[in-house]
Structure formats: structure tokens, C-alpha cells
Amino acid sequence: VSEAYLITGSSELKGTVQVAGSKNAALYAVVASLLTSDEVVLHNVP
């Protein structure tokens, strides 16, 4: 991964992200979904 984000503060992160439907993009989304106990729905995954 060539980019990283440092998030500071007490605000809750939530929302949606649209990425291309490639298997490489899907891999990062699947791994990121493991970091939350909330429900995650992935669409357009090859």
C-alpha cells in the first residue's frame, strides 16, 4: 500500500467508499472489513 492515513481525534468514522471492482482493490476491502465488529457489505467484488 503506497498511502497511509493517520486519523486522530474522538470522532467516529463511518460512511461509504467506492473503489474499482478489481480483485486487488477487493483484497484490501476484505482485510479492512475484519477490523470492525460492524456489518460490512461489499458490492462489485470479482
Q: Could you tell me if residue 12 is inside a domain?
A: no
Give pLDDT, residue 22.
75
Give pLDDT, residue 34.
92
Q: Could you tell me if residue 29 is inside a domain?
A: yes
Question: What's the domain count of the chain?
Answer: 1
Contact 21, 44 (CB under 8 A): yes
How does pLDDT run across 1-46, given as a tens digit for each residue? Answer: 567 777 788 778 788 877 666 777 788 888 888 988 889 888 878 7
Q: Could you tell me if residue 23 is inside a domain?
A: yes
Q: What percent of the chain has pLDDT over 90?
A: 2
d(CA 16, CA 13): 10
Q: Could you tell me if residue 2 is inside a domain?
A: no
Q: Could you tell me if residue 4 is inside a domain?
A: no
Q: Which residues contact 33 (CB under 8 A, 6 or more apart)?
A: 40, 42
Q: Could you tell me if residue 1 is inside a domain?
A: no
Give pLDDT, residue 1.
53
Overall pTM > 0.85: no
Domain residues for the domain of 29 are: 17-46
Q: Could you tell me if residue 21 is inside a domain?
A: yes
Q: Could you tell me if residue 11 is inside a domain?
A: no
- As given in the structure block, the three cell numbers for residue 23 are 480483485
